Structure 1
Amino acid sequence: MESRSSQKAPYNNYFVPEEDLKYLPPYFRNTTETINEERCIVHGTWPTWLNGTFMRIGAGKFVVPLSEDGSKSPAVLQHFFDGLGVLHKFSFSNGEVRYSSRHTAEGVIRKAKKDGYVSTIMFGMNANTPLKDAQDPCSALLGAQACLIYIKNCRMLPLLTSTRQSLFVPKGHLPPDKANINVVPRRGMYLPDDQNPLSRGKQSNNPTEEELLVHTDFNILQVCDAKTLEPKRLLTYAEIDPELSGFGICAHPPKDRKRGQTYNYLISEKGVMSVFALNIVSKPVELVWKTPLPCPPCYIHSLAMTESYVVFIRNPLTMNVSDTTKPVMEMIEYDREAKTLFFVLDKADGRHIATFAAPNFMFFHSVNAYDYIDEATGDRNIHVDLCSYEGDYCPYREYCLSNVVDPARAFMDGTLVRYELAAVNRATPSKTGRVTVAQSISGVPMELPRISKYASMKPGYSYVYATGGNGAASPGTGVPIGRLGNGLKCVQAAFFGSVAKTDWLTGKFIRWHPANGESCPCEPVFVARPGAADEDDGYILVALDGRSLSEIARAVMPQVYGIGPHGSFIEGGGMY
């Protein structure tokens, strides 16, 4: 383990022991669960028209016991992304807010208690690191395979580099809570018959209302009960169709409500990168098409889509597994020499129709995209809006707990950029076109972007809501970050410092900062008012006016919220 003084990277990456977790905000520590739904105390006036369920997935546990009797020191998960999942549910009806939550990765803890070490993918430093210092007999195993899923009934797939290393991918039956799936919760869909004897509960005949589907950046899905939040089933996309065997799934498959399809990508066992479409209204869901792409594998967190096209943006982020003792966050390497490629596929049949290249940048979240007729040329163009980064390493490296309690420098932030792909109607896949920047909104950091769902794929849409940067001076804050001596020489605000709203038409933005920094805003999910004529007529949950970002109401939860990046609002019956 490297000492702090030997660190040369622009972020701190050292082991934070359990006794130092007190320096982290409460939402970066173990949080309880509220299994029985409770009514929340509401301040302000909650909108009576808001009927539905707001789901969030977060990080619920960072300290993992390694023995039943407490005889062993616990493991401490070391990265924001590694916190074991917890589902949060807010139910809205007639101006009332009710809340419940449940931990969804308890199987990981059961196995850790049995084995004496944590065995799950770890984005940050190996949580079992102190075991090495204690000369634990498992230390050799843990050092070599800290970043691998370690489960029975596995098979090995070749990783996509020149090395001979391998990645373990689940095969066979797993209990529904024995993997840490903690990125995006969505409405359930009709899946193939469940053949797993370890699943819990009965497979629903109405999954869109009775089940939730939790996504992650790996070829595995978790099905949870929409009412109780209890995990029911784990499966891979290969159970939907054998052609979808492999890994590299993105956590944000864009959903076309009119076509009843979602789009995702896959890296096969042979290292072939493909984009595929799923028919999510069929019973069960089925593969529509799968199209290989002429590019090396990479890490992608989201895709983009327009009314007519799917746009796959090849990130210059690759996975280097030549040294598997490194955390995953350091295996993801940023290739500064590579161009960022845009592959355009026709939604109708998956045909690859165009390729474009941009000067090097990286991204994680797409915002929106649309195709339109250019009045000046008569050609069909595409605009793709992204939160774009230009740096020399993957920003995810900054999100380890050591760099939260002790930031080495200001966190890297994204910029909202609109990229233009011109004349796709005249393009050919074999000839690479040039991407141009049509617009950007500078001056405000942007990440975790959301828009009104009615603005999806619409030319001329205006508003993007997002978290407005990490950290800022915050006197009197109740939940600061950077409380150990850090390179910034000041205590920072909550991890996500503000909520921002930008306007493409004016280039302006506004921001909302929690009073005294006592809250940590997360992804701002916008819900439109029924019958709204204006794009921003609605509320940001929970609960800001969509026009002014002024606070309308807030609901007091019965427990601390375990920080999580993403959520989904599921409308109640009769809404919209």
Structure 2
Amino acid sequence: MHSSAAGFEDAPEQRVPVDLAIQGTIPSWLAGVLYRTGPGTYHIPSSTNPSQSIDIQHWFDGLGMNHRFEIHPGSQRVSYSSRKSCEDFESDISKQGKIPMVSFGQQPDICQSIFRKFFTTFQQLASPIQPNDSPSGVNVSVTLSPDMPGWDKIIEGLPSEVKLHDHSGPRYLVAKTDADMLQLLDPLSLEPLASATYKTLDSRLDGQLSAAHSCRDKETDEFYNFSCKLGGRFPTYKVFRINGNGAVDIIAQIKDAPPSYLHSFAMTSKYVILAIWQAHIAGYGLSILYNQNIAQSIEKWKPNVDSLFYVIDKKNGGVIAKYKTPPFFCFHQINAYDDPGKDDIIIDMSVYKDHSVINSLYLDKLRTLSLENPTPIGRPRRFRLASVTTSPSRGKTARDAQVEFTLSPSESIELPTINPSNYHQPYRYAYGVNKSFSPGLEHTFADRIIKLDMQDAEGGGHKFWGVPGYTPSEPVFVPRPDGKAEDDGVVLSVVLDGNQGKSMLIILDAQNMEECARAEMKTVSPINFHGVWSQKRRSSAL
């Protein structure tokens, strides 16, 4: 039986880099580091009762581990290392017998009285729990941003010995999640160096929620995200940017949208688009404190409540248009861009018919996948927001968004990526994980990688790569230096071989989706969330 269950269990660290066995030929031009982040620990022994453990229930709550795959220049060599990112947080769980703060899906003790739950809620309103100020006292392991701006003062306060590295990658990494927590990482050792919040960077960014997937303007190198502060009938979404000098500008405030769990947002060269899909948090957001998790706090699906798009002018600020569409749920945007020659915005997303996918990602289900208990994967959908600047209402009245197409389940995509040169620009190809639903492969989380042709989305010319029993992770596109075609490059994916019980780094030719090489591990690399590629560059000190 092919299974991806081993990818959702505890994994050992590999702090000292080891060389991996190479099969095939690595392209001679490919040199750099693939960083990956995601869960690596699910069972924490109790320090008060060694015979018991605290078991993580939801995939999104697994304790973080970061991974480093270095492809060395001029040789057929790949080295691998990994490190836990939240050892002090793990220690807190071990001592307290529970996750000591709000989680994504960990369900509290069912024996806890209603009175005690209300008492805890009001206690947290009066004195909110703050993240542990230890560098490893927070669990932040969803996305990674190399050299995120705004950290200069924090870096200046670090001990001198951690600022003397001389290497050819990023100066530092910042791990992010969907809450207001950030973690600074050493890009060589993966050691946590500091923890912070967006409020640490600017006191006005005082929301509890943010997007794990920020956006970066490749022309200006400005960093964009939002901060969502819960409370009152409507929350306040503050959409902000951080420039290269660390200065923060709040470019819009939205106060008429429901509180919602938003994992990502969209951006074009002109606009930021905040899509408020239906993952509304009950009780004006306060149910999170009562339930102590996000998953149980999301309202039941309401098929008659529209999802919304807020369009924000990047240059001048402010909401300039608002759109609505029948309800959907989403984790990831694929890409967005301004339609050349028109006053329209194109947004491509991986969408779900409702938010039930959140419950399908509890670990007891992921470890026992079957035909009766599959993991749904989102379907690509293209939205068109027409005539953006001709709206006379400045975003007060919502117009209808147009749906240009929604692809079939066989063309589903999750964890989507594209050539980074085409983010926020017109593009053709997208890569992501896909599920074939082939007989015998029903026990895998995803069993192949898809290459979507978005210019001929309904033409059926998509390409796939997969091997029975293999579970791929998010594919990362690496362009060939001086390559001319959009798909001239390779796709990297860490793949679990469920037959042999070990993982490997797969390198695919991004044009024909054929395997170039693989770097084989001797152990299982846990199925994680997201990664980032860092090209080799000249030495720079942290």
Bin of the TM-score, shorter chain as denominator length: 0.7 to 0.9
Q: Does residue 538 of structure 1 match 2:489? A: yes
What residue ranges of structure 2 are gaps of 5+ in the alignment?
493-505
1:76 touches 1:128 (CA, 8 Å); kept in 2? Answer: no
* 1:457 alignment partner, SS class: coil
Match among 437, 444, 452 for residue 419 of structure 2: 452
Match among 366, 369, 375 for residue 411 of structure 1: 375
Name the counterpart of 2:105.
124
Q: Does residue 60 of structure 1 match 2:10? A: no
Name the counterpart of 2:498.
none
Say what the alpha-carbon RMSD is for the aligned residues.
3.1
Whole-Å separation in 2 of the counterparts to 1:97 and 1:228: 16
Change (3 A) 1:48 1:204: same
Name the counterpart of 1:548.
512
The residue identity in structure 1 corresponding to 2:350 is: C
Name the counterpart of 1:328.
294
Name the counterpart of 1:81.
60
Name the counterpart of 1:305.
267
- Percent identical among aligned pairs is 26
Q: Does residue 100 of structure 1 match 2:81? A: yes
CA deviations on 1:450-470 (whole Å, 9 max, x unpaired) are 0001121222x2111111138
Whole-Å separation in 2 of the counterparts to 1:326 and 1:121: 5
1:118 touches 1:127 (CA, 8 Å); kept in 2? Answer: no
What displacement does 1:312 show? 0.7
Change (3 A) 1:142 1:103: farther
1:448 touches 1:466 (CA, 8 Å); kept in 2? Answer: yes
What displacement does 1:567 show? 0.5
CA deviations on 1:79-118 (whole Å, 9 max, x unpaired) are 1111110000011122321110000111122123333444
What displacement does 1:295 show? 1.7
Match among 376, 381, 399 for residue 433 of structure 1: 399
Q: Does residue 287 of structure 1 match 2:248? A: yes
Alignment of 1:131-280 (within 5 A): 144=117, 156-157=124-125, 168-170=128-130, 174-189=133-148, 190-194=150-154, 202=162, 209-268=170-229, 270=231, 272-280=235-243
* 2:365 alignment partner, SS class: helix
Name the counterpart of 1:382.
345
Farther-moved stretch of structure 1 (83-92 vs 553-562): 553-562
Whole-Å separation in 2 of the counterparts to 1:155 and 1:54: 43
What displacement does 1:249 show? 0.3
Name the counterpart of 1:42.
22
Q: TM-score, normalised by structure 1?
A: 0.80
CA deviations on 1:221-261 (whole Å, 9 max, x unpaired) are 01111110011111010111110012110000111021221
1:276 touches 1:350 (CA, 8 Å); kept in 2? Answer: no
Whole-Å separation in 2 of the counterparts to 1:112 and 1:200: 31
Whole-Å separation in 2 of the counterparts to 1:167 and 1:453: 42
CA deviations on 1:314-349 (whole Å, 9 max, x unpaired) are 112112355835753232233332111111111113
Name the counterpart of 1:341.
308
Q: TM-score, normalised by structure 2?
A: 0.85
What displacement does 1:275 show? 3.7
CA deviations on 1:539-562 (whole Å, 9 max, x unpaired) are 110311101211111111243201
What displacement does 1:54 show? 0.6
Q: Does residue 462 of structure 1 match 2:428? A: yes
Q: Quick one: higher RCO (CA 8 Å, sep 6+), 1 or 2?
A: 2
Whole-Å separation in 2 of the counterparts to 1:357 and 1:141: 38
Whole-Å separation in 1 of the counterparts to 2:446 and 2:225: 28
The residue identity in structure 1 corresponding to 2:147 is: G
The residue identity in structure 2 corresponding to 1:332 is: I
Whole-Å separation in 2 of the counterparts to 1:506 and 1:281: 38
Name the counterpart of 2:502.
none
Name the counterpart of 1:504.
454
What displacement does 1:119 show? 2.1
* 1:37 alignment partner, SS class: strand
Change (3 A) 1:322 1:452: closer
Farther-moved stretch of structure 1 (358-367 vs 188-197): 188-197
1:108 touches 1:177 (CA, 8 Å); kept in 2? Answer: yes
Whole-Å separation in 2 of the counterparts to 1:267 and 1:127: 24
Whole-Å separation in 1 of the counterparts to 2:346 and 2:164: 39
Whole-Å separation in 1 of the counterparts to 2:116 and 2:448: 38
What displacement does 1:388 show? 1.3
What residue ranges of structure 1 are gaps of 5+ in the alignment?
1-22, 133-138, 149-153, 158-165, 476-491
1:174 touches 1:198 (CA, 8 Å); kept in 2? Answer: no
CA deviations on 1:353-409 (whole Å, 9 max, x unpaired) are 1111112212111111111244xxxx4111011111113x43111011221234453
What displacement does 1:471 show? 5.8
1:155 touches 1:170 (CA, 8 Å); kept in 2? Answer: no
What displacement does 1:209 show? 2.3
* 2:90 alignment partner, SS class: helix
Change (3 A) 1:516 1:258: same
CA deviations on 1:505-526 (whole Å, 9 max, x unpaired) are 2223545454231x32011111
Change (3 A) 1:116 1:409: closer
Name the counterpart of 2:91.
110
The residue identity in structure 1 corresponding to 2:229 is: S
* 1:263 alignment partner, SS class: strand
CA deviations on 1:118-140 (whole Å, 9 max, x unpaired) are 424433343867xx6xxxxxx66
Aligned residues: 505
